[in-house]
């Protein structure tokens, strides 16, 4: 077993979904290493939403994954549709 020592402080990030006027708030959040990790996680969430849309026969719409930090301040917004062009 390998243990990796991490010197930094882990942070809680929230992944909220905005669909037009509808807003689904992430009540628990996820503890991650840093902002870059949170953005990567948001892209994974957006990818899951995109797969669900396409699987159901829907056209990718204007849904957004909003990343908020521990103060609930939005630090990034990932349009679900943008995942189509993200390698």
Asked if pLDDT for residue 7 goes beyond 80, the answer is no
Return phi, psi of residue 82, to 5°: -65, -20
- Answer yes or no: pTM beyond 0.95: no
Where does the pLDDT of residue 53 fall: very low under 50, low under 70, confident under 90, or very high at 90 and above?
confident
| Residues 63/18, Cβ–Cβ less than 8 Å | yes
């Amino acid at each position: 077993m390998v243990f990796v020592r991490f010197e930094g402080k882990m942070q809680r990030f929230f992944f909220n979904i905005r669909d037009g006027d509808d807003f689904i708030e992430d009540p628990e959040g996820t503890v991650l290493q840093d902002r870059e990790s949170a953005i990567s996680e948001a892209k994974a969430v957006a990818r899951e939403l995109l797969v669900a849309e396409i699987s159901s026969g829907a056209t990718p719409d204007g849904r957004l994954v909003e990343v908020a930090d521990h103060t609930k301040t939005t630090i990034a917004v990932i349009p679900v549709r943008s995942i189509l062009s993200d390698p």
